[in-house]
Amino acid sequence: MSEFGFEISATDGPARSGVIHTPRGEIQTPAFMPVGTAATVKAMLPEHVAATGADIILGNTYHLMLRPGAERIAALGGLHKFMNWQGPILTDSGGFQVMSLAKLRKMSEEGVNFQSHIDGSEHMLTPERSMEIQAFLGSDIVMTFDECTPYPASEDQARTSMELSMRWAERSKTAFGAAKGRALFGIVQGGVYPDLRHQSAKALQETGFHGYAVGGLAVGEGQDLMFATLDETVPALPAECPRYLMGVGKPDDIVGAVMRGIDMFDCVIPTRSGRNGQAFTRKGSLNLKNARHADDPRPLDETSNCPASRDYSRAYLHHLVKSNEILASVLLTWHNLAFYQALLADLRLAVGRNRLGDFALEFNHLYGNSGAASKV
């Protein structure tokens, strides 16, 4: 089994393009990871996800430990075989979901005791148990167990939360051990406080990880503050390792974060929006529920290689959405994922050609023009 590795092929200011090597395949960066929380990218076949250009998807410790169970997935051959995905998989540690979904949670130095949001059953999630579950799943990139600091939080609250996450990161690494061919990423916390972000980045590097994620953003702080936090955090991370911005985001968030040196992204926005009648385009988003699409024969994007983008009229998509047909979710999710992957491919190309600044200006002008969506 080959080792995990990361190569940078081009840079443009802080931005870079490259490739992450894993035993299950290469990941072109900057990369967007479709979210397959419960062993499925909702409304999509795995082969269609791959056809959009996705090299890697994301699964989740919390959801899979509750249903169908990590040990069951292991007995059935691991998560890749279970869901018929041949490429790399990154699994989140479950820390965010424990805080946001679980009932009657009680946090301690040991971990988090909580009740399932599904059936009320009681569970304990610790750094050690999170590593064990992710090993059962067989994920290629494993995330340390952490507490996602809420927003807003005082500096003292953010410090206490961050320091606990750093202790949990050390325990995660010890429990992870020397898993050949798999990688463990540490997660930088510290809220929106630069000093705390610097302390967190330093502590994680002293422990040592294959890659570094920026957590605790896209939780309500707004784009300006998110970018300001990245401006402080990313330069404190080692340049030779992948950098992953967790839970982000909207297309313009991704463009701005790539310009600041981020290599990896995940978000439910393209799939959730697809299930709710929204389609992303370079000129803004479209709400296919709106009556103005009812007689529009145009596809969402006639230049796309994606069948959902190219081969179905907006009028038909409007009809499907208004009729609550399952196919609406399928086609719009498929289109949105293809749009995101095309955007990331264009960002990689722009970095390679040293014209990321020009690309970002053009993209933001079209996407950010408040009147553009009505003209799409």
- Cα–Cα distance measured from residue 137 to residue 152, given in angstroms and rounded to the nearest whole number: 34
pLDDT of residue 369: 65
Tokens of 302: 């006639």
CB atoms within 10 A of CB 284: 18
Distances (CA, A) of 342 to 30, 83, 261, 357: 11, 24, 19, 18
**Dist. CA 308–CA 79, nearest whole Å:** 27
- Catalytic residues, which ones? 92, 266
pLDDT at 261: 98
- Residue 175 carries which DSSP code? H
Task: Name, in order, each residue with C-beta under 8 angstroms of 351's C-beta and a sequence gap of 6 or more.
Answer: 10, 11, 12, 15, 16, 17, 30, 258
The predicted pLDDT at position 376 comes to 55
Q: What's residue 375's pLDDT?
A: 44
Residues of the chain with pLDDT under 50: 1, 370-375
Domain assignments of the chain as residue spans, ordered by start: 5-267, 274-371
What homologous superfamily does CATH list for 5-267? Queuine tRNA-ribosyltransferase-like (3.20.20.105)
